Structure formats: C-alpha cells, structure tokens
Amino acid sequence: MELEVSLEDPPLQSEEPATTPVSVSFQIIVEGTKRGHKKLIDSLGYTYNIKSQRSNVTYWQCTVRPKVKPCKATVIQRSDKFVRGTTSHNHPPSPDSALTTKISSKVKKMAVQDLFKPASAIVDEVLLQEMANAPCPSLPNPEYLSRAANRQRQKLRPAEPKDLSFVLDEAHIPTHFLRADVRVHGRRHLIFATDQQLEHVTRAKSWYIDGTFKLCRHPFSQLLTINAFVRSEDYAKQVPLLFVLMSGKKKRDYREIQEVGLQHAYTHDEATFKYLRKLMALPFLPEGEITLMFERLASQATTTQVRTVIEYISRTWINGSVWPPSTWSIFNKSVRTNTDIEGWHNRLNKRAGPLAQNSPPKNSYQGPQMFLLVSRCKGLELTASIGGGGANSCTI
C-alpha cells in the first residue's frame, strides 16, 4: 500500500538573516544636565555626560548609572567625530530624550534672560514652541520645570535679608513696581504695584483688604494685599491691585476683644455677647448714622474691659484719620466681605509649599524667597480676559 505524500515542511534556514547596521547620530545640548553641564544625546535616545576630557578627546559615559549595575556604555569624541564604545547599554533608550533635554535647557535659559516673567508662563511658551509637531510622552511635569527655572534664577538673586537694615537691590525688583520703602517706629514695609494697578486702585470705590502671615520669611511677617473690582466690557472681577510686605503687625489689632480678656464673657454672658455684636454690626449702617450709634453704645459701656474696646474703636475706626466710617460702611453694598481675597491667599499659601500651611516657628524660613515672592506678585498684572478667570491666578 502506497503512503500518501504529505505536504513537506519548509526547509530550515541555513544562514542567519543579514543585519543592516544602524546609523547613529549625536548632538550636544549645552547646559543639558541639572548642574548646567553639557549632555550628549544620540539618535536612539541614549544620553551621556562627560566622564573625562583631554586636549582633543572627550570621553562620554551613559547617564543611567544606578548604584546597582550602572550602564557602562561609552562614546569617544574627537573633534566632531563620535565613536561608540564596545559595551552595549543594559537598558532601553528613551526616544524623547533629545526633546525633553532641549525643553528643560531652554526653560532655564529663558528664566535667566527674563528674571521677572512667571516661570509657568515661560514653560507654557517653550512647550508651545517645541511640541508643535508631536506629543512627548516622557515630558517632565510642567510644575517641575517651573521649579527648575526658579532654582536657576535663585542663583543670581541677592542673599536673603537677615534683618531690616538690609540694602534693597532694586535690580532684582521689576521696573516701576516698588512704590515705597517705608521705615517707621523700627518697622519696615515695602509697597508694590504697577502703574496700571495703581490707576485701578485709586478709581475703586471699595477696597478689600486681607493679610497672610504664612508666606513671608524673617524679617518680614505679613503680606498684605488690597483687592478691588475691575471691569472689562460686561465682566467685572475682584483682582489684587497692591501688595505690602510688612515687618510687623500685632495680632491684637485683629483680635482686640480677645486681647482685653472679653473672650470668656463673649461666649458665656448673653448681655456681653449682644453688646459686642452690636459694635461688630456698625459697618452695616449708613455712613452718616455710624458715629451716632457708636456714641449711644459707648455710653452703655460699664466695665473696664468694654471701655478699652470702645476707646480702641473710637481711636482707630471712628475718629481716626486713616479709616473713618466712610471707608468701611458696607450699607447697600453687594459685596460685603473679603472672601475672594482670603481665597486667593489660601491658594497662594498652598502653592508656596506644605510648610506654609502650618503655624511656623519664629524666624523660620518656610515661605518663598523675598525676591521670588515679589516677582510672583508682579506676575499678577491685569489681563484683558477678566471674564475668563485668568486675572486672579497665580503660580509660585
């Protein structure tokens, strides 16, 4: 019986398939490393830093060098000729290395060229320029790029002031931004605003004022901000218009009732509670009725502690030349609180870092550097897109 002839298997290849050599090109990125040194990148996506140099030869080593099994791949450069070493890489390449290194280097370079442009704006500009053709999956977080830009700038800034007698180097403050350097009663206060911000704040009918103690380093203790509403076409928005770095602000100015020892009576005695609440409600009266009502309430003060509060209000808020009743009456005002500016300070505190969220020890250096904080305040210039929400944003 004849056996059926089955389909024959294809013969085994007797020779290995020929391989085509891969052509590799190289480029050097100036200030491509974190420390500002040169970085070599090949077209496969491997990166190298300088290992050593001689008169006409540069030896490059792979940048992937963990403590365990560091990559020993090398490149030898003679003039503009590059030759790969005999040792292969022990890790896969990163095809986006050239682009990410170029972006990082360009961000730091532009940050030094323009010290006062917000780092986030520089990062956005570079990303739009360099990533117009294709996405970059391995791109660093834009926030990290902004921090790298600010670190690069910090190397050029003067040392942080240690006391109030420091000489203010205006070369590191945006032009026409410093409005006054006030020294009074052993204190020092720096006032900042642009020409446009001053124009708006002088025209504003109402100011909204708040201070934050969490952003400043010694010898300053508070950033005071004045907001006002600015209109653009059919839109109006409350925006920061003036900034004051203050070296001192006694907390009793904010908590007079607590300072004179009325806190317990305020929370446990109904008569004291109602009386003090009436004093706190004075801003809700028309301007012309505030003084009369205050005098009526003042005549009812019977204890030393309450009379101390009355004297403070009279001196500061009724008969004072700085804050007369016309400046703080909110009768018939649609916006009666400074909630917006408090929210802006809260967001600013969060962006400054986790240490700024807690009550810092005295003289601690938890906030951003003084010149960096001033630059970020300058970055809050008014924009035409008030209706779009962009005028009240801030990045540190």
pLDDT digits (tens, 9 = 90+) for 137-179: 777 788 889 888 888 888 888 888 999 999 998 888 888 999 9
Gap between the Cα atoms of 191 and 207, Å rounded: 16
- Which of 104-118, 208-222, 292-306, 366-380 has the weakest average pLDDT? 366-380
Q: Please give the average per-residue pLDDT across 112-121, as a whole number.
A: 87
Gap between the Cα atoms of 183 and 172, Å rounded: 20
* Per-residue pLDDT, 178: 94
Q: Dihedral sign for Cα 132, 137, 138, 141, please.
A: positive
> Which tokens sit at 42?
């090949």
User: Which residue spans within the chain are E strands per DSSP?
Assistant: 26-29, 39-42, 47-53, 57-62, 74-78, 81-84, 178-184, 187-192, 208-212, 222-232, 235-246
pLDDT digit string (tens) for 198-221?
A: 999 999 888 888 888 878 888 998
Q: What angle do CA 314, 250, 275 make, to 5 degrees?
A: 40
Whether this prediction's pTM lies above 0.85 is answered by: no
pLDDT digit string (tens) for 249-267?
A: 655 444 667 777 888 888 8
Place of tokens 């009355």: 310
Q: Which of 73-77, 78-82, 352-356 has the highest mean pLDDT?
A: 73-77
* Per-residue pLDDT, 357: 41
pLDDT digit string (tens) for 316-375?
A: 999 988 889 988 888 887 766 666 667 666 766 665 554 444 444 444 445 677 887 888
Greater confidence, 379 or 8?
A: 379
- Which of 10-19, 173-182, 298-307, 334-343 has the weakest average pLDDT? 10-19
* Per-residue pLDDT, 134: 65
**Whole-number percent of the chain with pLDDT over 70:** 78
- Band (75; pLDDT cuts 50, 70, 90): very high
Is the pLDDT at 88 greater than 90, yes or no? yes
- Band (82; pLDDT cuts 50, 70, 90): very high
Which of these, 244, 209, 239, lies nearest to 373 by C-alpha position? Answer: 244
